[in-house]
A and B are shown apart, each in its own frame.
Chain A
């Protein structure tokens, strides 16, 4: 150790001793008075890679919030765990609320797990900010007043890609063949897709329900070849989309492939030249908005890689929750619900501010269709996505892609 470091250490030691002598009572009360937040997200299984990014985004947000003085002067204390599956998610969320003293719950990606956490939150009358699950049913027939939904729902993803397809004349009279994840999310996405095809004269000629543990798609690809569709469409989730993209490229079927759901971590894993078509995303790290660029820089500096959309969503969810607590000067569930239901605006690092819609608690925000950059145009291996212009367009209300009151059976 050199002299400089030793001197620094001495100074730090003195400072610490001084601080503890002067500020002892304050530190004690500060420690006991932390705001506890329960965070659950899948860290294993087919959504594990996404949950890992979500956890990194959460950590960055909490670090920034705490460094800038916390919430109402209190530090955030986050318990973060692997939600594993719907049953475990329910058990863990219940323990966090009933035994560990969590004030609110934030997190999740798996729609089935999110549903069980929503029920636990409602039973305990505590707030759950649901970040990454996209099933329409969660904010539709299963909605409850204790849950707020941050990610874009399935209907918005379908409409986002749908608008791009309509623009390219790829819907009317075209034959679609879909591959659908066989759980609540996939079924829900297929329903949204069917509504879209129904309204735009697309012709759905076949659908395959795919169990979430399928890793070989070759028999399905042969069936698609026999059906001779005009467009193949993926309603899969998590890393199954990656496998499908790889094997679709492997078999070299001539039909264009599009999809209504793809997370960027899964797109990054697809391999050079395998991804094609139009897909939706809720956020991408190349988004040209100053606040977003700053977040990407901080995240990349801390973790050595750019954030994925689940890192972003966890980050903004924690920031929104902190902002709401600061603005209401409260961690009280009812006060927070009332604040969100006022359709308070939040900066979510996009061009337009976002708000939770009062009657279904869905975050109204911009979404983006994306395609793949032509070979040689990507700056690095994270950069092969060409982000389309945000939808809805600047002059349209944010609600215009979301399910309408007639389509959405939610009553809080």
Chain B
């Protein structure tokens, strides 16, 4: 009996990890290609949530979760063009400061526009309740999120590994100088990566709005976990982030099962242990420009 309960927590943790993944994957891509720790990533997640709550009022849930990430991705273009671009070759502390400042500006802007009180958002009726598969209880809505995450993951993997776009991006992570020597400008690729990254964060926000609290600080809340995932997974590795996100979800679930008080601390302990053994993270590659 105990084993079944544990297994249920593992499966639930995997689902939760899938959601962390949406945020962490973009963060990791932007870091790997541009060398920028985007502390404002959570702000795009929050914007995605707010935009989808607003759009849901007029268009319904379906169109809202499609349009809001796209709109936020467009904002990502401006973000890359006018802010990030100035910091690719600068001291990393500068980009840290500017994105940190931007995160705070975004949080206060949300507070000014929508107020400090959380917005109300609900799961569409068709996805309410739970389904019981075998001995496991699943939230119907989280299963939907899982399907979306899997689809996004597949799309990003194909993009990075099966297209010429992906080849340039992957080459750019390892040897930007060689890419430049071949006469390829990395800048448009970087714009696309930032668009993709913040779009995924906004998608996460849009899908999580109905089951979490939509309030100004929601971006700051998610960014810590996303970082832990990126650090555990290691830079430059697609699968590293995937494994790390799932691992974080599962470890948290299992810890809450046995020692609830340690639940939130468990992911940091996990990060500590993994960095002790593998300083570059689980599947992190050796990236010359960061050494």
Contact = CB atoms under 8 A, between A and B. Distances in A.
Interface centre among B9, B210, B253, B260 (most CB of A within 10 A): B260
B60 to A, nearest CB: 13
B211 to A, nearest CB: 5
B8 interface: yes
Contact of A220 (B13, B116, B256): B256
A274 B122 CA distance: 8
B217 A44 contact: yes
Nearest to B115: A52
Interface of A: 43-45, 48-49, 51-53, 182, 208-211, 213-216, 218-220, 222-223, 225-226, 239-240, 242-243, 246-247, 249-253, 265-266, 268-274, 308, 381
Given A216-B16, A252-B130, A381 B256 contact: no
A225 B15 CA distance: 18
B182 interface: no
B120 A209 contact: no
A261 B121 CA distance: 21
B42 to A, nearest CB: 12
B126 interface: no
Contacts of B118: 49, 239, 242, 265-266, 269
Say what secondary structure dominates the interface of chain A: helix
B115 A243 contact: no
Given A247-B212, A272-B122, 10 more contacts: A44-B116, A49-B118, A213-B221, A214-B263, A215-B221, A219-B252, A246-B121, A246-B211, A250-B130, A271-B120
Nearest to B218: A215
A216 B122 contact: no
Given A250-B123, A250-B128, A219 B256 contact: yes
Contact of A222 (B5, B129, B141, B261): B5
Interface centre among A44, A213, A268 (most CB of B within 10 A): A44
Nearest to B216: A48
A218 B213 contact: no
A213 B218 CA distance: 11
9 contacts: A44-B217, A218-B16, A218-B142, A226-B8, A239-B213, A242-B213, A250-B211, A266-B118, A273-B122
B261 A215 contact: no
Interface in B188-231: 210-217, 221
Interface centre among B115, B116, B139, B141 (most CB of A within 10 A): B116
Size range of the chain B interface in the assembly: 35 or more
Nearest to B12: A218
Interface centre among B12, B117, B264 (most CB of A within 10 A): B117
A266 B117 CA distance: 8
B216 to A, nearest CB: 8
A91 to B, nearest CB: 21
A209 B123 contact: no
Contacts of B214: 269
A310 to B, nearest CB: 11
Contacts of B13: 219
A247 B8 contact: no
A273 B12 CA distance: 24
Contacts of A381: 120
B120 A270 contact: yes
Contact of B217 (A45, A51, A266, A268): A45
B16 A43 contact: no
A119 to B, nearest CB: 27
Contacts of A252: 128-130, 139
A213 B264 contact: yes
Given A49-B117, A222-B8, A271 B210 contact: yes
Given A219-B12, A219-B257, A52 B120 contact: no
